[in-house]
Amino acid sequence: MESELYADAIGEITVTGTIVRIDLVSLSATQRDDQGQPMPELRQRIVMSLEGFANSFEVLNKAMNGLIEAGAIRKTSTDDNVVPVRPASETAKPNGSPNFA
């Protein structure tokens, strides 16, 4: 493997004809919105065919179901969103840094 890329989220998915574009975003270290929250910045774009996207969705869905079954994440009761599940012992970090979550 040559390199890795970290992203906080998928910012947008655009479909044009038979091409799917997935924009990966990370929170800005310098730009803030009106509420003072970090703004998302484009980091990388994945471009794939509709078929490739559909196949990837299946793989991601299986991974999501595995994480839910393992108790690593849970679905919220109000919608299909998921949230990480962390035991109370993991919430207090000795160094206080969010980088070691």
Is residue 34 in a domain? yes
Is residue 1 in a domain? no
Is residue 2 in a domain? no
31 residue type, one letter: Q
Is residue 51 in a domain? yes
The domain of 29 spans 9-100
pLDDT digits (tens, 9 = 90+) for 52-89: 999 998 899 999 899 989 989 887 766 566 655 655 44
Q: Across the chain, what does the average pLDDT equal? A: 82
Number of structural domains the chain divides into: 1
Is residue 3 in a domain? no
* pLDDT score of 2: 80
- Classify residue 64 as left (phi > 0), alpha (psi -120 to 50) or beta: alpha
Strand pairing class (73-75; 82-84): antiparallel
| Greater pLDDT, 64 or 21 | 21
Query: How far is the C-alpha of 84 from the C-alpha of 74, rounded, in Å?
Result: 7
Is residue 48 in a domain? yes
Is residue 4 in a domain? no
For residue 17, the surrounding DSSP H or E stretch is none
Is residue 78 in a domain? yes
Could you give phi then psi for residue 78, rounded to 5 degrees?
Answer: -90, -25
Count other C-beta atoms under 10 Å from residue 40's C-beta.
20
Is residue 49 a contact partner of residue 19, using CB atoms and an 8 Å limit? Answer: yes
* pLDDT score of 95: 44
